[in-house]
Structure 1
Amino acid sequence: MLPFRSERARLTALYTGLLVLAGALLTGVVYVLVEESMYSTISMAVTTAVPAQRLERLPSSWQTALPTGVSSAAPASPAPSTGTVVPGEALAITRTLSDAAESAALDRLLTVSVTVFVCYAILSLALAWWTAGRVLRPIAVITETARRLSGENLHERIALDAPPGELKRLADTFDGMLGRMERLVSAQQRFAANAAHELRTPLAVQRAAAEIGLGGDPTPERVARMRSKLIEVADTSERIIEGLLLLAASEQGLKERRRVPVDELARQVVAALDDEAAERGVHITVRTLPLTVDGDPVLLERLLHNLVANAVRHNVPGGRVEVRTGPDIGIEVTNTGPVVPSATVPLLFEPFRRLNERTHAPGEGAGLGLSIVDAVARAHGAEATASANPEGGGLTVRVVFQPTAP
């Protein structure tokens, strides 16, 4: 970039122009004020310092400097023989002396003012250039950091050491943005790695089943077992892909919003999962207060389904699940179950994260349930949180929505 097209050059030109304009106005005002009052000041000083009776001692050459018409201003009678100067001549000589002194003083003032003004303009230019550099230095630091960043060094921060101000806030905002980008990139990398692992496992099982189970001359019973296994693996792959697509759709935000009665959705979801809960020996309690949210009914139904299904499936025989809704609490699902370490709770919202290692047992989830809940909640401007229950094990998951206008 050319120097004269840089922001520093523009700021320097602006600062210099303002300083030079201020200096020119100050010099002009001083010159005009001095010029207005100088004649009367010099005339009074000359009259006081050189009385009329002393004007006769002035050299005769001053007579030639008298203005035209002085003789007419003098009285008609001849000058006294004593050699004193008549009043008209004294006034003319005083005016001549005052004019000469005024002209010399103004010339000197103008010369000094112009010299000082030129020095002031040069000094202003240098000072403006230095000041612009100091002001723009944080921006240069931010620019260099942004140019240097890539996916491998998103951990770097500007950490601008400067007093509070607009540029300090800009640098801190940039650091905050880098932190969010680092978390997003890390989450995407983990998601891609986990998704590849989760999808590779069913494919490996299908390949092994086809090569081993159907090799040679398989019997009808063997074919039936392999068929059942392949269908089970296909169902698992389908659930994973469906969960990934739903997660991606939730991350993109809402395309349309409608008034959704969440309390009614909660009762419908619980009714749909009653049979599964009964098979596992889990009792579900529903306590709903009216709760209406502006959002997507399909995504909200999936959010509730994942919460209740996780609470039922990750429970113990004879366990309990409590579902509550209300304007103050949002959605709250509490379940008994295995003890969850407090340090593990925040990690459960990450894709493919489970409390225990995957065993590939029938009906085992893909580990996307709470991550989909978190994505749907964020798409609706809500916040999903979880906490380990101090007694009885299990989790309490809450989704708190922003208040909406009635």
Structure 2
Amino acid sequence: MRAVLRSERARLTALYGTLLLLAGGGLVALVNVLLRKGLYSRISWAVTTVMPGGVPAEGTGDPVPGQKVFEPAQKLPPGTAPTPEQIEQWRVTRNLSTAAARAALHELTLVSLIALALFAVLSAWLAWWMAGRVLRPVAVITETARRLSGANLHERIALQAPPGELKRLADTFDGMLDRMEDLVGAQRRFAANAAHELRTPLAVQRAAAEIGLAGEPEPAKVARIRERLIAVADSSEHLVESLLLLAVSEEGLESARPVDLAALAEAELSAAEAAEADAAGLSVVRDLAPLTVSGDGTLLGHLVRNLLANAVRHNRAGGRLRVSTSADGLLTVSNTGPLIDPEEVPGLLEPFRRRAERRHTAGEGAGLGLSIVASIARAHAAHLQAEANPSPDGGLTIRVRFPAEPRA
């Protein structure tokens, strides 16, 4: 039996068929019980309401000669004893009623059992058909999942069905495939870009060593090549550290504690002013309201530092840098700079995405700053929004809204 009921369709067929058969059997049993209680009395009443006699019934007129007419049975007056003819007539009526009731019940039982057998066969077929109809979307989902691979993640179920649990399941599966396709695509792009970014400095180092140091180069040339190799090594080290930081932030938070984000932003902003902002002639605007969030202080420091570094690096001479925090959990960093097409903004949050081709010059970023910011924001359940500033200011405005802290 277990071997037969290995499929969900067989189990549903057994369940539906059993329920329909029980319903039909219960209906037949109920009809028989009700008829057994009242069938004899109804037949007896029908038989005894007309009795053979020679007196015409009231309103029937004269009887046809030689033909007996029937009249309703009547109760005897109180104190009157029935005659032998009446007793015999009552006995005949009772026997006739009993025989008619038994025959009717026998015929009803036989017909009911035959009908129940036919109903059982029909119920099994209907249950099998219904189970197939119900499980058809599940079969479509299963076949799609079995067929999926890295090469055809673009396929979707797109179930055409009325709203219901299976429709929601299919739509949820399609949504999961959308996220998987985006994730796999992002991982492929990340791997390809990371390999390219790491291969380029290695090629530069190899060329400098093989070509620049070939033969007996002059000391000045050796010094220049040495500086070049050190710069390339520093760039590679920064890239590796950024990749590690991105990987760490993608893993989420191991622990969280209250962090004064306003004080953290003030410290990072002061360091940025001392290092780069003053040299670029930028005007810095602070609006740091008290803001405490729950998270990892080191990761949040990298988030603020990358935002400020991006705002300074992609600013213009004599431009403006604005940093603000608000008590409702919002951190905002805005800068002036080149005009950016709003359609390009979402791509800037992906790893190794730049508005211009990388030249591997001093001070050039690896294209991971904003993607690290986005990853750290996700780890802290924060919502990051980036939008291009309109002309004439240009640049970007990035807002990071942290979840509200529960009140004590």
TM-score (structure 2 length as normaliser) = 0.90
CA distance in 2, matches of 1:385, 1:246: 21
What residue is the counterpart of 2:42 in the other structure?
41
What residue is the counterpart of 2:403 in the other structure?
402
Change (3 A) 1:369 1:222: same
What's the CA shift for 1:25?
Answer: 0.8
What residue is the counterpart of 2:375 in the other structure?
375
Name the SS of the counterpart of 1:273 in structure 2: helix
Which digits, 9 at most, give the CA deviation of each residue in 1:79-124, with x for residues without a partner? 8xxxxx5332222211111111111010000001001111111111
CA distance in 2, matches of 1:284, 1:393: 16
Which digits, 9 at most, give the CA deviation of each residue in 1:164-219, with x for residues without a partner? 11100110000000000000000000000000000001000100111112111122
Does the CA-based 8 Å contact 1:52-1:87 persist in structure 2?
no
Which AA in structure 1 matches 2:366?
A
What's the CA shift for 1:2?
Answer: 6.0
What residue is the counterpart of 1:210 in the other structure?
209
What residue is the counterpart of 2:12 in the other structure?
11
Asked if residue 240 in structure 1 is aligned to residue 242 in structure 2, the reply is: no
Does the CA-based 8 Å contact 2:352-2:367 persist in structure 1?
yes
After superposition, residues 7-406 of structure 1 pair within 5 angstroms as 7-51=8-52, 85-275=84-274, 276-328=276-328, 330-391=330-391, 392-406=393-407
What residue is the counterpart of 1:70 in the other structure?
none
Does the CA-based 8 Å contact 2:293-2:329 persist in structure 1?
no
Superposition misfits of 4+ residues, deviation over 4 angstroms: 51-54
Which digits, 9 at most, give the CA deviation of each residue in 1:362-398, with x for residues without a partner? 0111000000000000111112121111131111111
What's the CA shift for 1:222?
Answer: 2.0
Does the CA-based 8 Å contact 2:349-2:374 persist in structure 1?
yes
Which AA in structure 1 matches 2:390?
P
What's the CA shift for 1:337?
Answer: 1.0
Name the SS of the counterpart of 2:285 in structure 1: strand
Which AA in structure 2 matches 1:11?
L
Which segment drifts farther, 25-34 or 339-348? 339-348
CA distance in 2, matches of 1:345, 1:14: 56
What's the CA shift for 1:290?
Answer: 1.4
Which segment drifts farther, 182-191 or 267-276? 267-276
What's the CA shift for 1:53?
Answer: 7.3
Which segment drifts farther, 92-101 or 300-309? 92-101
CA distance in 2, matches of 1:329, 1:6: 53
Runs of at least 5 residues in structure 2 that lack an aligned partner in the other structure: 56-80
Which AA in structure 1 matches 2:126?
L
Name the SS of the counterpart of 1:367 in structure 2: coil
Runs of at least 5 residues in structure 1 that lack an aligned partner in the other structure: 55-74, 80-84
CA distance in 1, matches of 2:342, 2:102: 92
CA distance in 2, matches of 1:3, 1:394: 68
CA distance in 2, matches of 1:227, 1:50: 134
Which segment drifts farther, 30-39 or 212-221? 212-221
CA distance in 1, matches of 2:254, 2:296: 8
Which AA in structure 2 matches 1:150?
S
Which digits, 9 at most, give the CA deviation of each residue in 1:141-162, with x for residues without a partner? 0111111111111111100000
Which digits, 9 at most, give the CA deviation of each residue in 1:284-323, with x for residues without a partner? 2211111111111111110000001110111111111000
CA distance in 2, matches of 1:260, 1:240: 27
CA distance in 2, matches of 1:20, 1:2: 22
Does the CA-based 8 Å contact 1:316-1:336 persist in structure 2?
yes
Change (3 A) 1:329 1:342: farther
Does the CA-based 8 Å contact 2:291-2:329 persist in structure 1?
no
Which segment drifts farther, 278-287 or 143-152? 278-287
What residue is the counterpart of 1:64 in the other structure?
none
Q: Percent identity?
A: 59
Change (3 A) 1:376 1:9: same
Which AA in structure 2 matches 1:296?
D
CA distance in 2, matches of 1:53, 1:297: 117
TM-score (structure 1 length as normaliser) = 0.90
What's the CA shift for 1:17?
Answer: 0.6
Does the CA-based 8 Å contact 1:338-1:394 persist in structure 2?
yes
RMSD across aligned positions (CA): 1.7
Does the CA-based 8 Å contact 1:329-1:398 persist in structure 2?
no
What residue is the counterpart of 2:59 in the other structure?
none
What's the CA shift for 1:51?
Answer: 4.3
Does the CA-based 8 Å contact 2:328-2:404 persist in structure 1?
no
Count of residue correspondences? 379
What residue is the counterpart of 1:59 in the other structure?
none
Name the SS of the counterpart of 1:254 in structure 2: coil
What residue is the counterpart of 1:63 in the other structure?
none
